[in-house]
Chain A
Amino acid sequence: QVQLQESGPGLVKPSETLSLTCAVSGFSISSGYYWGWIRQPPGKGLEWIGNIFHSGTTYYNPSLKSRVTISVDTSKNQLSLKLSSVTAADTAVYYCARMTYDSSYPWGQGTLVTVSS
């Protein structure tokens, strides 16, 4: 059974870099699939942040591309998200998920990140 678990600071100061990790269990990241991040501001809808293929190829939301870096660490079987120059608009629940070309399953439980001084 594949499981994903997000972790990282729950509070980040404006202009700093948000850093999250997603630990994957029950499946080896290097075996295939895309792995991605999605976020959801409080009370709002879902927004795709980006994907990384197991080989390292990345795809980012054009609206976030200049600030986002997604990477994988196959030795730790985890993926990471870095979002730079954050503002209050980046406050959201951040989810990681395993992705195919046409679906995302399963998802992690999500982690709330608040941007505030």
Chain B
Amino acid sequence: SSELTQDPAVSVALGQTVRITCQGDSLRTFYASWYQQKPGQAPILVVYGKNIRPSGIPDRFSGSRSVNTASLTITGAQAEDEADYYCNSRDSSGDHLLFGGGTKLTVL
């Protein structure tokens, strides 16, 4: 498969937990990385590999994978987490990168 599928929009109440998912056949083989993008800014890496956070990323962000679905979980969402989130992985060949269509997260 050459696609990664994300829900276009998700909302969460302030302080609650939200899961953003990314589905694709290649995720059976490869981990996803997750990027947060706020309006007018470049994307930043928040989680990659088997749940690894770059320095400076709060520990409320975590990643997981089950069969062909990768998930980004935000435990205790904050107002500043409102953003677009993109998953990224490889296609089944391993040579090419894919991005999901993005999920707009609204924190209520």
Contact = CB atoms under 8 A, between A and B. Distances in A.
Interface string A92-117: 00010000001111111110000000
A45 B99 contact: yes
A108 B90 CA distance: 21
B97 A48 contact: yes
B42 A104 contact: no
Contacts of B48: 102-103, 105
Contacts of B86: 45-46
Contacts of B96: 48, 59-62
Interface of A: 36, 38, 45-48, 51, 59-62, 95, 102-110
Given A59-B95, A103-B48, A103-B49, A109 B42 contact: yes
Contacts, number: 56
A46 B33 contact: no
B45 A46 contact: no
B98 interface: yes
The 3 A-B pairs of least Cβ separation, nearest first, read A103-B48, A48-B97, A105-B45
B54 interface: yes
A46 B42 contact: no
Interface in B62-96: 86, 88-90, 95-96
Contacts of A95: 42-43
B65 to A, nearest CB: 12
Contacts of A60: 96
A62 B35 CA distance: 23
A98 to B, nearest CB: 10
Contacts of B100: 45
B69 to A, nearest CB: 17
B47 to A, nearest CB: 9
Contacts of A61: 96-97
Contacts of B95: 59
A47 B43 CA distance: 12
